[in-house]
A and B are shown apart, each in its own frame.
Chain A
Amino acid sequence: MAKKKMQILVCGGTGCSNLQGESIADNLKLEVEANALENDVQVVRTGCFGLCSLGPIVKVMPGDVIYTKVQPSDAREIVEEHILKGRKVERLLYKDPATQETVSSHPGMTSHIKQLRIVLRNCGIIDPENIEEAIASDAYEALNKVLTEMTPQDVIRVIKDSGQRGRGGAGFPTGLKWEIASKNQSDEKYVVCNADEGDPGAFMDRSVLEGDPHSVLEAMAICGYSIGASNGLIYIRAEYPLAVHRLKVAIDQAREYGLLGKNILGTGFNFDIELRYGAGAFVCGEETALIHSMEGLRGEPTIKPPFPGEAGFRGKPTNVNNVETFAAIPAIILKGSEWYSSIGTEKSKGTKVFALAGKINNVGLIEVPMGTTLREIIFEIGGGIRHGKKFKAVQTGGPSGGCLTERHLDTPIDFDNLVAAGSMMGSGGMIVMDEDDCMVSVAKFFLEFTVEESCGKCAPCRVGNKRLHELLNHITEGKGSDPDLDRLRNMSNVIKDTALCGLRQSSPNPVLSTLDNFMDEYVAHVRDKKCPAGKCKNLMEYYIIPENCVGCTACARVCPVNAISGQRKEIHNINPEICIKCGACKEKCKFDAIIIR
């Protein structure tokens, strides 16, 4: 069968399907057949357009005409007007919110295409194990420009002017970091790439290294040139075998092509890169601990100052940046600082990659300009909450961040706004939670991680976080009391003020932010001994509603601990003393007789 003249694309993303996307496609097909157009027009179901608030979406090609909020009853008009007569259905066209003008083509809908790929520009496009594809996509052109047209000071000025801030978590200005390292004189200096991505649910750096390793190598060489270093080290976690493999291949190929090593591009500049492996300790993502780990010492943080820019790896000036920070550098060099600083908010420039995870439809990796709101990320690009449930909170910044709620949905995301809202940017993991998640348990989960990953050097973290975790455990077991809530807050504040490293100063954030935003849930746990989300096993009870029970014995047979008693065709009973709350009976019951109370 030959290519058809026209295509009607119908969004089959979860958001649009819930809004009758399926019957729209069916109706369109019927209309196409009714007009005997099936040889010329094809109806195709697609994935999410990322325009869920305007859904259901229908796109007609060629012409890229987008129709929004389409109802199944609109199918006839679309086929008869647009397809047959070539007249666009004006009332269904998208209106630009700013100008109120109708925009009829997909590429023209810039205000609704939220994502902008700078860091991910080559991910999924080039073969990461073939340097020639990278070169064809302008890899090493920025290095070329830097080595032939710019002085080290020029490079630092461009990075400073771009306003880029480090993507690893704290948001320290990149250009300033480079300047500090460049001003400290030494016979040797180092450029370190922090690829020890340890936040639960975060995989931005992994994807960049797997998809476009040369962008990081190139940026490290640029950094080396501007601070006066000839050695680069990538500290990567050994749990990323594919990223390690692709980096190794990339480094070998770059050396082979003379883009790493001695006398790069005949300019006399020398720079080479080696890999160092992390053994899975979260604390090694902190730059001083990372440096100690690379030196063969225990991965423990030390007090700053001295900053690595003054005395880092082997006591020499060392510049540590995160993978995502580096990956944006070649684009900044090639397109200029003005271009980069035109993207984003006043104090946070450029784009940020986020890893969407949790109870969200479109789990995955996205890149948006700073200043995009949580609502746009979760409900447009992310396609909304799974199974049509209600949004409850989103944890940004991993174990160092906090839970943000419905009232934060319209806050433009940047470094400062997130801190003001009680969370932080962190590395960019976003874990979305719905109405079924218990916020006390969420705080407990992150504290569990923090306790597990404590290096043990300072007491506030080693002892304090352990106590915090114990308190949270008490509360979820129904043993908490009102004063425990004050204790939680006090201890969190003390840890914040006294812990040694940045990771730990922020470790009580999950507790503080859930206390701030979900006090009612804590109160329900300690006063009423109830878990509103029905997650805390000790605070719930499985119960058989006598009116609904028919005595089929299915629940008693599936119970692994024989906690259910009752004769055939008689009402059954659950003994709460024996019940382990596994939920097997509730799943088995066909009569909705078993509830949690």
Chain B
Amino acid sequence: MKTISSPADLRKLREEIKAKMQGKESGSKEKVRIRVHSGTSGLASGAKAILDFVTQELEKRNIDATVVRTGDLGYCFAEPTIEVTRPGEEPVVFGNVDKIKADEIIEKYIKNGEFVDGILPVNYQTIK
């Protein structure tokens, strides 16, 4: 348990987490980050199966990546959606992902950075 007991604590913890997320600790390499959008609309379209599949397959295929379960991005018409961020690159969102598509994304985009059909272009700005 890490009780944060002062404002300085909070800021310190934030920096620590950020460093950890970017893989900066102990000189390890930054990992591919995969977000599986698992809000109600994602889960209703099968996001859970995709989350399990991706987690399992990455391990089987020896790819060092972080898989994160998040809320929905709002693309209900194209669920399930997943987002892949390769180190140092902009995140790319793929829509209507089934296991076949997920396999293609792992083999082509995650491994080699080669695009596959079904990319959802970013059509918003955010405050970050």
List residues of chain A with CB under 8 Å of any chain B CB. Answer: 1-4, 7, 9, 11-12, 42, 44-51, 59, 106, 110, 113-118, 120-121, 123-129, 132-133, 135-138, 140-141, 144, 147-148, 203, 206-207, 210-212, 240, 242-243, 246, 256-259, 263, 265-267, 331, 335, 361-367, 381, 383
Contact = CB atoms under 8 A, between A and B. Distances in A.
B105 to A, nearest CB: 12
B103 to A, nearest CB: 15
B108 A46 contact: no
B7 interface: yes
Given A4-B114, A47-B75, A128-B70, A135 B10 contact: yes
Contact of B10 (A48, A140, A335): A140
Nearest to A255: B3
Contact of A44 (B73, B83, B116, B123): B116
Given A144-B10, A363-B76, A364-B74, A257 B3 contact: yes
Given A124-B71, A127-B69, A210 B10 contact: no
Given A123-B71, A265-B6, A364-B41, 14 more contacts: A2-B112, A47-B120, A116-B124, A117-B127, A132-B17, A136-B17, A137-B128, A203-B41, A206-B40, A207-B39, A243-B40, A257-B4, A364-B77, A365-B76
Contact of A141 (B10, B35, B40): B10
10 contacts: A2-B114, A44-B119, A106-B121, A116-B124, A135-B17, A207-B41, A210-B39, A210-B40, A256-B3, A364-B77
Contacts of A123: 39, 70-74
9 smallest CB-CB distances across A and B, nearest first, come from A211-B71, A124-B73, A115-B124, A50-B123, A365-B74, A3-B113, A364-B76, A47-B120, A258-B3
A21 B74 CA distance: 24
A124 B70 contact: yes
Interface in B50-71: 68-71
B26 interface: no
Given A1-B114, A9-B119, A148-B7, A331 B14 contact: no
Given A124-B37, A210-B71, A266-B6, A1 B124 contact: no
Nearest to A10: B117
B18 interface: yes
Residue among B17, B108, B113, B121 with the most chain A CB within 10 A? B121
B118 interface: yes
Nearest to A64: B90
A243 to B, nearest CB: 8
Given A118-B127, A242-B39, A331-B127, A45 B118 contact: yes
Given A47-B120, A211-B70, A242-B40, A136 B14 contact: yes
B98 to A, nearest CB: 15
B84 to A, nearest CB: 13
Contacts of A48: 120-121, 123
Contacts of B17: 132-133, 135-136
Interface string B1-34: 1111111011101100110010000000000000
A363 B114 CA distance: 28
Contact of B14 (A3, A116, A135, A267): A135
B125 A113 contact: yes
Q: Interface centre among A128, A136, A148, A383, by most B CB within 10 Å?
A: A136
B43 interface: yes
B127 A335 contact: yes
Nearest to B107: A1
Contacts of A266: 5-7
Interface string B85-128: 00000000001000000000000100011111111110111111
Nearest to B123: A50
B38 to A, nearest CB: 8
B121 A59 contact: yes
Contacts of A256: 1-3
A242 B43 contact: yes
Contact of B123 (A4, A113, A127, A137): A113
Contact of A125 (B5, B35, B77, B118): B35
A124 B114 contact: no
B68 A127 contact: yes
B78 to A, nearest CB: 6
Contacts of B78: 47
A117 B128 CA distance: 9
B123 A49 contact: yes
A123 B4 CA distance: 24
Contacts of B120: 46-48
Contacts of B95: 47
A129 B68 CA distance: 10
B116 A47 contact: no
Given A136-B21, A144-B10, A121 B5 contact: no
B126 A47 contact: no
Contacts of A243: 40
A128 B72 CA distance: 11
Most chain A beta-carbon contacts within 10 A, residue among B21, B41, B127: B127
